[in-house]
Amino acid sequence: MKPSEIRALSTEEIRSRLDDARDNYFKLRFQFATGQLTDHSQFRIARREVARLATILRERELVAELEGSEA
């Protein structure tokens, strides 16, 4: 998912997708540890998805804090 697509989502939806992405990454790590993972490139994709979602969520938190301190 592209950052522009993520920014179009609501904050709650981003949080939900972040939880799902973290869960997916955990499952991939578990599969790797048990020797069931065949496509190791999924690690990189999942890790970057978590990072994208977390970054945009943090951007929104910072904007909310800035707006709160200005008022």
> Which residue numbers in the chain have pLDDT < 50?
none
Q: What is the value of pTM for the model shown?
A: 0.89
Q: How far is CA 21 from CA 28, 53, 54, in A?
A: 11, 9, 10
Other Cβ atoms closer than 10 A to 52: 19
Other Cβ atoms closer than 10 A to 53: 23
Domains and CATH numbers, the chain: 3-70 (1.10.287.310)
**pLDDT single digits (tens) 19-34:** 999 999 999 999 999 9
Token pair 């939900």 is found at 16
pLDDT value of position 69 = 84
pLDDT value of position 70 = 78
pLDDT value of position 71 = 65
